[in-house]
Amino acid sequence: MTIASYDEPSQKSVDSSAHAKGSPPSFASRSWAGIGWRLLVNILLFSSLITLVLTLVQLYIDYRMGVSEIEQRFSDIQNGYVETVSVSLWNMDSGLLRSQLEGVVSLPDISRATVDETVKGVSNSLSISVGEVNSSGVLSREYPLVHEEPGGAKQIGVLTVYATLSGIYDRLLERTFVILISQGIKTFVVSFFILFLIHRLVTRHLVKISEFLSRTGEQNRFMPMTLDRKPPGKPDELDHMVTSFNYMQGRLGSALDQLHQANDNLELIIDERTRSLQEEMAEREEARRSLRISEQRIRDIAETASDWFWEMDGDLMFTFISRRFSEITGVPYEKLLGKTRQQLEEAGILEIGGEVKQALWQALEQHQPFYELEERVIAESGKIHHIQIGGKPVIDENGQFVGYRGAGRDITVRKVAEEAIRRSHDELEVLIESRTAELRKLSQAVAQSPVSVIITDRDAQIEYVNEAYLMQSGYQLEEVLGRTPAIMRSEETRESVYRDIWGAITEGRDWSGELLNRKKSGEQFWVQAHISPVKDPEGHITHYLAIEEDVTLRKEQEQRILHQAQYDALTDLPNRMLAVDRLNQSMKIAQREAHKVAVVFVDLDDFKKVNDTLGHDAGDQLLVEAARRMEGVLRGGDTIARQGGDEFLVVLGGIQQTSDVERLAQKIISAYSEPFLVEGVDLVVSPSIGISIYPEDGEDAAILLRNADAAMYRAKDEGGSSYHFYTLAMNEQVRHRLEVEGHLRHALERNELEVYYQPIVNTVTRQVSGVEALLRWHSETLGAIGPDTFIPIAEQTGIINDIGDWVLTTGARQIADINRRLGLSLKLAVNVSPRQFRNNSIVASVLKVLESGIDPSMLEIEITEGVLLGNHPETLALLAELKQMGIDLSMDDFGTGYSSLSYLKNLPFDRIKVDRSFIRDIETDKEDLALVKAAIMMASGLGLEVIGEGVESEPQYRVLADIGCDYIQGYLFSQPVDAQAFEAYLRLQMTT
Give Cα 581 distance to the centre of its chain: 34
The pLDDT assigned to 946 comes to: 94
Cβ-in-10-Å burial (0-12, 13-18, 19+) of 849 comes to buried
Maximum distance among all alpha carbons in the chain? 175
The residue type at 934: A
Structural contact between residues 530 and 547, judged by C-beta atoms closer than 8 angstroms:
yes
Structural contact between residues 904 and 912, judged by C-beta atoms closer than 8 angstroms:
yes
Tell me the average confidence (pLDDT) per consecutive run of 10 residues in the chain, 992 residues long: 37 41 46 64 81 83 84 84 82 81 84 83 77 76 84 83 82 82 81 78 75 63 70 74 77 78 81 78 74 66 63 85 76 79 78 76 84 78 80 86 85 77 75 65 63 87 86 87 85 83 88 87 86 87 87 79 80 88 90 90 84 78 90 86 89 87 89 85 87 90 88 83 80 74 90 95 93 94 89 84 92 93 93 78 86 88 72 75 91 66 74 89 89 88 91 93 94 94 92 80
Name residues whose C-beta falls within 8 Å of residue 989's C-beta, 6 or more positions apart in sequence. 767, 768
> Can you spell out the DSSP letters for 463-501?
EEE-HHHHHHH---HHHHTTS-GGGGB-TTS-HHHHHHH
In angstroms, rounded to a whole number, what is the distance separating the alpha carbons of residues 69 and 200?
Answer: 52
Cα-Cα-Cα-Cα torsion 295, 301, 306, 308, nearest 10 degrees, comes to: 10
The residue type at 808: L
Cβ–Cβ contacts within 10 Å for residue 259, how many? 9
Structural contact between residues 665 and 723, judged by C-beta atoms closer than 8 angstroms:
yes
In angstroms, rounded to a whole number, what is the distance separating the alpha carbons of residues 896 and 917?
Answer: 8
The pLDDT assigned to 868 comes to: 67
The pLDDT assigned to 190 comes to: 81
CA angle 236, 240, 241 (to 5 degrees): 115
Cβ–Cβ contacts within 10 Å for residue 29, how many? 9
Cβ–Cβ contacts within 10 Å for residue 887, how many? 22
Cβ–Cβ contacts within 10 Å for residue 617, how many? 11
In angstroms, rounded to a whole number, what is the distance separating the alpha carbons of residues 326 and 332?
Answer: 6
> Can you spell out the DSSP letters for 356-388?
HHHHHHHHHHTT--EEEEEEEEE-TTS-EEEEE
**Range list of H helices, 638-726:** 658-671, 701-717
Cβ–Cβ contacts within 10 Å for residue 950, how many? 19
Whole-Å CA distances, 214 to 24, 220, 708? 7, 11, 104
The residue type at 932: V
The pLDDT assigned to 19 comes to: 43
Residue 514: beta bridge partners? Answer: 528
* Pick from 622, 634, 612: nearest CA to 675: 622
Looking at the chain, how many residues does it have? Answer: 992
Structural contact between residues 925 and 962, judged by C-beta atoms closer than 8 angstroms:
no
Structural contact between residues 698 and 709, judged by C-beta atoms closer than 8 angstroms:
no
Beta-strand pair 911-914/888-894: parallel
Name residues whose C-beta falls within 8 Å of residue 758's C-beta, 6 or more positions apart in sequence. 771, 772, 774, 969, 970, 974, 975, 976, 977
Cβ–Cβ contacts within 10 Å for residue 59, how many? 16
In angstroms, rounded to a whole number, what is the distance separating the alpha carbons of residues 473 and 552?
Answer: 13
**Range list of H helices, 81-139:** 82-90, 94-105
Structural contact between residues 600 and 689, judged by C-beta atoms closer than 8 angstroms:
yes
Structural contact between residues 522 and 530, judged by C-beta atoms closer than 8 angstroms:
no
Half-sphere exposure of 734 (CA within 13 A, CB side): 16
CA angle 86, 87, 91 (to 5 degrees): 115
In angstroms, rounded to a whole number, what is the distance separating the alpha carbons of residues 642 and 627?
Answer: 8
| pLDDT (tens digit per residue) in 749-797 | 999 999 999 999 999 999 999 999 999 999 998 899 999 888 888 887 8
Predicted TM-score (pTM) above 0.85: no
Name residues whose C-beta falls within 8 Å of residue 862's C-beta, 6 or more positions apart in sequence. 772, 829, 830, 831, 832, 890, 891, 892, 913
Residue 454: beta bridge partners? Answer: 465, 546
